[in-house]
Amino acid sequence: MFARAQSLTVRHIGRKRPALRSLDLEWEEGERLLLLGPSGAGKSTLALCLDGLIPHALDAHWESGTLTVGGRDTRAATLAELTRDVGVLFQDPETQLVMLETDDEIAFGLENLALGRDEMGERIAEARAATGLGPATPRRLDALSGGTKQRVALASLLAMRPRALVLDEPTANLDPIGAREVITAFAALALRRERSFLVIEHRLDPLLRFIDRVAVLGDEGHLAFTGDPEAIFMGRAGELDRLGVWQPELAELARILGADRMPRDVDEAAALLIDRWPRGAPVRSERRPPGRITVAARGVAHRYRGDDRDAVSGATLELHEAEISAIVGANGAGKSTLGLLLAGVLRPSRGTVDVSGDVAYVFQYPERGFLATTVRDEVRYAATIGRRIARDPDALLERFGLARLAEANPHSLSHGEKRRLSVASALVTSPTVLILDEPTFGQDLRNTRELVTILREERDRGTTVVLITHDLSLVAELADRAVAMADGAIGFVGSPAELFQRPDLARFGLALPPAASAFARARERDRTIPPLTGLDAARAALGAREAVRT
């Protein structure tokens, strides 16, 4: 046994409800454990407890129970002892890197162990090899992509040679290509069975081959159930759905097709489609006629002070009422800068942006926009600066699952709760144009579904909705139009289906979502398989076939 929580109850300072409540959970030596749960179930809190940050560095009320790691009670052990046993890789690599150069970053922890120069060199080389940081990797951290920065953070942990690693949403801030880099590094480590892994992640499909057991936390921060991946994702899908927990797309595809076993990768899913997809199922492609133009950008460029190149260059784009557009691309492609230009937050260095109506912008990091001291006052803040409140703030809090937190400080909320608060605050004035930067980041399935419903309602009300996102499954499900960027320029404008069929997706830092990838792989072998974009399209095609038959 590597770690064991027994009746563990932990409550964060200033919160009435415990983050973890009477948690009983075991993590075996060498086990690859996937930890799932709805937003606010205590997953990240458990990660902080495992490496000793709670209670040794972060204040929290340890109300009852014990947590042992490597046979030591985490409250009695020192933080230094615990960090030698457990390393934690967090969501945002920017918050974990402290040096200027790659090797210096990997060596930082080793210097604190007072290792000799020769051993440090050996460990740095070993960690770089394990995470794919070859000779071509730039020396300076500011020259690295998000995925490579996260691999440097992982290498820094591996160099310390901990017995276990906790990966807490390590791909959340990354584009699909960067996420693939990190997952590939994890897969190589997991196959060696040299250490224990606990993974908190919502991109589940790439992990399916490397997970031994799944543990699911309930809303109250207790263990709801546990089992092997097949038993959880195929046998208890209904319970996962009720909890609002993310599930693998490939497992859902198998259930749609009536299969009783879960494909563990895209190739197995493609074979399942070839075997089970009903030939002749109609595929409908409905396009909404564009409404009036609400935002028009003409040859827009912007360069940040001190930079030697434009963040956005020559962007021309029209946005329409009653339409959802998705701006996609790699980290650093200029997506957020373009969104800020469209919203009028940034002034273009060249070109023009014309807007009809008012614009609300939801920032990628919501806390940067919080101006009130309570959640309720944050939603009502627009009224204090003279803007018209068009919707009931309390009703919005209820709908976004924030009513119980109305008196909490916005900065004390979880990542997912902050995101929902920022969207509710934007909607309270019923803007003409709503721009959301990474709106599903940190959200569980339940809250993502609610957000999708709300954004569809906004579109039907005539609102122009713009999503800036890495989540191509969301794009497939929700967007009417996709705008793909690379190196500050718009390289594609069209439907998600047209984007997904392009052979140069990687140019935009994109990769097909799992279900779309399975359909594409199956179509390579059997042209009667349609090139569908995702699960919603598959359900619609099968539903249309049933309607025709009846």
* Secondary element (H or E) of residue 207: none
Residue (of 74, 22, 80) closest to 49 by Cα position = 74
93 vs 463, which has greater pLDDT?
463
What local confidence, expressed as pLDDT, does residue 450 receive? 87
Radius of gyration of the chain (CA): 24
Note if the bond before 55 is cis, omega within 30 degrees. Answer: yes
Task: Report DSSP letters for 107-147, one per residue.
Answer: HHHHHHTT--HHHHHHHHHHHHHHTT--TTS-SBGGGS-HH
Q: Rounded to the nearest 10 degrees, what angle do helices 146-159 and 176-192 cross at?
A: 20
Report which of residues 331 and 207 the model is more confident about: 207
pLDDT of 47: 95
Q: What is the pLDDT of residues 494-522, one digit of tens each?
A: 999 999 999 999 999 999 999 999 999 99
Q: What is the distance between the alpha carbons of residues 372 and 380, in angstroms, rounded to a whole number?
A: 9
Token pair recorded at residue 79? 């933080």
Angle at 246 between CA 508 and CA 404, to 5 degrees: 110
What's the pLDDT score for residue 124?
A: 96
Q: What pairing do the DSSP bridges indicate for beta strands 60-69 and 350-355?
A: unpaired
Domain range list for the chain: 3-247, 249-287+514-550, 294-513
Would you say the CATH fold of 294-513 matches that of 3-247?
yes
Residue 486: the pLDDT is 95
Q: Does the pLDDT at position 547 exceed 90?
A: no
Q: pLDDT per residue over 62-113, tens digit each?
A: 999 999 999 999 999 999 899 889 999 988 888 889 999 999 999 999 988 8
Question: Which fold does the domain 294-513 belong to in CATH?
Answer: Rossmann fold (3.40.50)
| DSSP per residue, 475-505 | HHHH-SEEEEEETTEEEEEE-HHHHHT-TTG
Looking at the chain, the number of H-run helices and the number of E-run strands are: 21, 19
For residues 62-97, one letter each, b for 16 or more C-beta atoms within 10 angstroms of the residue's C-beta and e for the rest, the string is beebebbbbebebeebeeeebbbbbbbbbbbbeebb
The encoded tokens of residue 45 equal 């809190």
Of 295, 352, 286, 338, give the one whose Cα is nearest residue 483. 338
* Token couple for 464: 């122009």
For residues 458-462, average pLDDT: 94
**44 three-state secondary structure:** helix
Interhelix angle 266-276/249-256, rounded to 10 degrees, is 10
**CA gap 453, 461 in Å, rounded:** 12
Give CA–CA dist 399/449, Å, rounded: 12
Short-list 199, 225, 224, 223, CA closest to 211: 199
d(CA 124, CA 107): 7
Order of strands across the sheet with 72-73?
A: 20-27, 3-12, 60-69, 72-73
pLDDT at 533: 94
Pairing state of beta strands 350-355 and 293-302? antiparallel
Confidence grade of residue 222 (pLDDT, cut at 50, 70, 90): very high
Q: Which residues pair with 64 in a beta bridge?
A: 9
Reply yes or no on whether the pLDDT at 310 is more than 70. yes
The residues with which 68 forms a beta bridge, in sequence order, are: 4, 73
Report pLDDT digits (tens) over 393-436: 999 999 988 999 999 999 888 777 888 899 999 999 999 999 99
- Bridge partners of residue 300, in order along the sequence: 315
- Model confidence at 535, pLDDT cuts 50, 70, 90, reads very high
Listed in sequence order, the residues at least 6 apart from 124 whose beta carbon sits closer than 8 Å to its beta carbon are: 103, 106, 107, 110, 159
pLDDT score of 545:
65
In this structure, are strands 293-302 and 312-320 parallel, antiparallel, or unpaired?
Answer: antiparallel
Residues contacting 455, CB < 8 A, separation 6+? 324, 434, 439, 465, 467, 478
pLDDT of 286 reads 67
Name the helix (H) or strand (E) containing 353.
Answer: strand 350-355
User: What is the per-residue pLDDT for 520?
Assistant: 96
pLDDT of residue 306: 85
Task: Inform me whether the pLDDT recorded for 15 exceeds 60.
Answer: yes
Which DSSP string corresponds to 355-398? ESS-EEEE-SSGGGG--SSSHHHHHTHHHHTT----S-HHHHHH
Quick one: pLDDT at residue 447? 84
Reported residue count of the chain is 550
* Residue 301, phi-psi category: left (phi > 0), alpha (psi -120 to 50), beta (remainder): beta
Q: 238 Cβ partners below 8 Å, 6+ apart?
A: none
Tell me, what's the pLDDT at 211?
Answer: 96
Provide mean pLDDT across the span 238-253: 96
Q: Which fold has domain 3-247?
A: Rossmann fold (3.40.50)
pLDDT the model gives residue 382 = 73
- pLDDT computed for residue 432 by the predictor: 96
Q: What is the mean pLDDT of the chain?
A: 92
Whole-angstrom Cα distance, residue 71 to residue 532?
51
Query: Rounded CA gap, 187 and 185, in Å?
Result: 5
Q: Using one digit for the tens of pLDDT, what is the confidence trace for 148-196?
A: 899 999 999 999 999 999 999 888 878 888 888 889 999 989 988 889 9
Nearest to 335 by CA among 470, 452, 441: 470
Q: What is the pLDDT of residue 145?
A: 77
| pLDDT score at 284 | 67
Residue scoring higher pLDDT (435 or 287) = 435
